Chain A
């Protein structure tokens, strides 16, 4: 018994690894990211201490105006410490001596002035990179500089002649930190952004209508209709409805766009009746929703169709024969034989497709991109737009993750509800008879 249990665990191990890597880890990471300020500008892996103009503004807004003013501006001083650093460094003794002889004691307000002064010397480094390294030895300011750690930052500030107390050190380190930090701001922003309420309503509308009309409703119609066709005809019929699922999304949506845009098929046909050309997909909010539901509906209906068709096939044929002998019409067969037998498959498809629709956005992205005027923006698309789309190159991973986390929470709650609805425990109970 013990060895077979171990063997079972061994067989389950690959599945366990996959679940951890591809399901559990992304969910945990989404949760972690959502409580951070992560974005392109903070990076993911960490950061450094960057005394940028933005950092000095932050420092000033935290009540350290005077310190911010002291730290602003650049200064280069040709002093003995710098000259010695050049002597022992790449610059060499000749350059150090020439600097000492010609530039000692001079101040420069910016890097370029200091560079020009050293560039004029006979012993100047030949490479620009080496020249800049020499100039850096005389920098006596921190504005615009980056430091790998706090110690380096504090040393540079002291080198610039500014003494910091402990509170100032902490304030400067906090304001100049370029990496991410923990925050609940993403959730506050989510709760206070007026748009998000509408996006939530859009999502409920999208999931509800697509599910009811297509993923369950239309799938059921196709499955039942094909049941009453001959084997060959039903095969072809079901095959046709599989096409949207097997066609690449980009191509499938492009076909819809060709159908709908101003110079597309619908406009051409409508023009024969005197209608002005228009973009039928984006013309109004109602049009956009119709197309979004149709596109997603046709893609998603195939799964329900296959499950329902298989379930109908599994109903013992004598039931239908007996019904026909009793004079039952097709409608009566559907109502009293097929639908009662499909209760569990319908529940399963409804459950699965609800979760699937909540997380799906690619067809909407490709067709309306949430437009016109964001009327078809759904929650998952908003998360995508925040986390992976920004015209100024600053992708907001933290805020996008917070939006995505809402979907995770809704998904988990919905799954628990569906498990209760399914009476999952009953499905997996041990049989009461010995086999």
Chain B
């Protein structure tokens, strides 16, 4: 009887204890598990470039598994936001960043690093990563340098590319080029033997032969972009003084560059109103032989052979460096790697995790998925040895022919202003609203007024 009474008293207490123990166990587990959301915004990202975001998702999975093995439950949710348009993307990142609602990881052009680092919008990934450890130790040093500012590595290269001159082989043949001439052309261009003006002359021949419409002989990029700096460099221009780190404007080189586009219009091989042509129209035209020569990007391979349906890429297109402006000059191409950047957060742990994700996403096998799918070039030595990457003819040939000669834009806070003013000058010269020398003088005057000592004007 007594036992029964005691039992009645003890049983609920025992139950309560059990419930408390289970609850405590769950509470402990819950306290141990860590959940976080990492947002990734990627600029200039179309369907073919989705691995820029997907690579971070793959990295999140790997990092979670690593942490689980160490006894730390980490659940990372990756929220991706691709932007096809650069202007909208840069507005969104900068304005959201100022408002404190920006993403954790940004995929953008390396030229943004200077301004965004200066304002503290991004943090150096170097602060959270071991640079001697793989895969960072395996990334091409020149790409890491492009992702640096003030001697610190702010981002990790997400891809590499370059911007070649393309020529339509069937048209070249019809104006007298033999197969061996065409095969030798990239080499002649590299030596400075075949210049930009030689290219305009060939473009004119294509038009005169009725192979392409007037204005389609040389059919360059249809909007502002890094490509146009290649033409400035082709005439001997420098963007930055290596010694002092200040920006540099070479008026003579810029005038020759502007004059080149004025001459292209005068010769009738480039349209006066070319800038503003819709991109879709441009892609279709260059991939179907409606243009003679044009400057494009290595990633265009995916578009030409994919959406535009170009069957025989290597039989249809000659690709090379951008020719020198004058005989004996230096041919070049520009590489404009996109980089993974980590933004400043209130919780430094988030910055650390984001940096780790970026490092894992840079592992060769993961990066190769993006490189091959989007026709970009790899970022590390090991990537070149992965069969999936090495077997791809385009990435192999483009890397060998172009990358050793690639220049990059400087990471300088004032470069955006310089670029804007250079582009305005080119537009006015191209449209015939001012002569090359007047346009250059206006550029120099505006840069002097706006940048002062930050730029050297020669």
Contact = CB atoms under 8 A, between A and B. Distances in A.
Interface of A: 39-45, 47-48, 50, 52-54, 57-58, 61, 74, 110, 112, 115-116, 119, 128-129, 131-132, 143-144, 146, 178, 188-189, 192-195, 257, 261-263, 276-279, 281-285, 368-369, 371-375, 385, 388-396, 399
A173 to B, nearest CB: 16
A41 B244 contact: no
Contact of A392 (B129, B419, B446): B419
Given A128-B128, A279-B273, A263 B281 contact: yes
A40 B93 CA distance: 10
Given A129-B127, A392-B112, 11 more contacts: A41-B116, A42-B119, A54-B245, A178-B119, A257-B278, A283-B272, A284-B272, A372-B273, A390-B90, A390-B420, A391-B224
B428 A144 contact: no
Given A43-B119, A128-B130, A54 B87 contact: no
B419 to A, nearest CB: 6
B430 interface: yes
Contacts of A277: 213
A412 B352 CA distance: 51
Contacts of B412: 54
A42 B454 CA distance: 16
A262 B454 CA distance: 42
22 contacts: A41-B115, A41-B118, A42-B119, A48-B120, A52-B118, A53-B245, A54-B118, A54-B245, A112-B131, A129-B128, A146-B120, A195-B442, A261-B278, A279-B271, A368-B276, A374-B424, A374-B427, A375-B433, A389-B87, A391-B111, A392-B419, A394-B115
Contact of B445 (A53, A57, A192, A374): A192
A424 to B, nearest CB: 38
A393 B245 contact: no
A132 B127 contact: yes
Nearest to A46: B120
A388 B151 CA distance: 29
A66 B264 CA distance: 50
Interface string B124-148: 0001111110000000000000000
Contacts of B121: 40, 43
A389 B91 contact: yes
Contact of A393 (B94, B278, B445): B94
A336 to B, nearest CB: 48
B413 to A, nearest CB: 5
A57 B245 contact: yes
B356 to A, nearest CB: 9
A148 B456 CA distance: 32
B150 interface: yes
A104 to B, nearest CB: 23
B46 interface: no
A116 B419 CA distance: 39
A247 to B, nearest CB: 20
Given A146-B120, A195-B424, A393 B111 contact: yes
Interface residues of B, number: 69
A52 B419 CA distance: 22
Nearest to B124: A144
Given A57-B246, A393-B416, A39 B115 contact: yes
Nearest to A365: B87
A41 B442 contact: no
A143 B150 CA distance: 9
A373 B428 contact: yes
A115 B415 CA distance: 33
Contact of B446 (A131, A193, A262, A391): A193
Nearest to A133: B127
A206 B292 CA distance: 38
B276 A194 contact: no
Contacts of A394: 114-115, 413-417
B150 A52 contact: yes
A262 B274 CA distance: 11
Nearest to A51: B150
Given A372-B275, A372-B276, A116 B132 contact: yes
Contacts of A374: 424, 427-428, 431, 433
Interface in B437-451: 442, 445-446, 449-450
B108 interface: yes
B70 to A, nearest CB: 10
A62 to B, nearest CB: 10
B148 to A, nearest CB: 11
B276 A262 contact: no
Contacts of B109: 392-393
Contact of B115 (A40, A57, A257, A371): A40
A361 B115 CA distance: 27
B120 A392 contact: no
A392 B129 CA distance: 26
Contact of B416 (A110, A371, A391): A391
A63 to B, nearest CB: 12
